[in-house]
Structure 1
Amino acid sequence: MLGARHVDRFDHHDASGALFGIVLELPGFPGMIELRIAEEGYPVRSGYDPVTFEVPDDAALEAWFEHLRAAHVTHTPIKQRRTGRSIEVDGPDGIVVRLFTAPIGGFGTVPFQEREIDH
């Protein structure tokens, strides 16, 4: 319906090979969207991060960090990840929303073939 495209090379699997997250590209949306799968092995729980939103660059992430701090919203420090940097924001229901920078050159330049990813 929205024209989202599943980018299967970014799928997230645990050590047993079970799929727990997928990444989508959405026409007109400037980044990628990560969706986590909630099921028996990965139920929705406090601290669960079902969605990740891409921000354009480090400056945008730092602006979000300052905005969240000024608004007294609980969040992590900016974390360096394998492909970019991130902030996790705690929602009032305990569900985490992640803001993530795209790597330099975009996600199309990232080799992402490993099967096991840290949740």
Structure 2
Amino acid sequence: MKTAPWHDYILEKINAAESLIKPMSAIAGAHERSASLRDAEDKLQEIQRKDFRQFKLEVRLVKDTNERRNFEKELCHVQIKHQAVKGYLASAKAGESRQQLSIGNKGDQVLAQASLIQDET
């Protein structure tokens, strides 16, 4: 089966975004971690906004129906990988938010305030 010319290109971009997310515990500063998460989010949004749209159009131009069907399956697999990495990103962002809340006295105050608001509702 012949792979689409863009298959490797998009997977490389998704893997680059994933590589920014995975080593969060190895990044020392909170600022660096949040910058890395922002970069990963930007890359994933660019893939969603630009690359998928462009390559869906290219797949539609393929005349051979079997080849088009194969390319659509490949695109589906790549989109599943993209969604998985977006899930990793959401999890990493939630972990980062929890970590920032639990740091120091200010974090305790924010958590106490949130608890009071939750008790009122």
Structure holding more strand per residue: 1
Structure holding more helix per residue: 2
TM-score range for the pair, normalised by the shorter chain length: under 0.3
Greater Rg by CA: 2
Query: Which protein has greater RCO, CA pairs closer than 8 Å, 6+ apart?
Result: 2
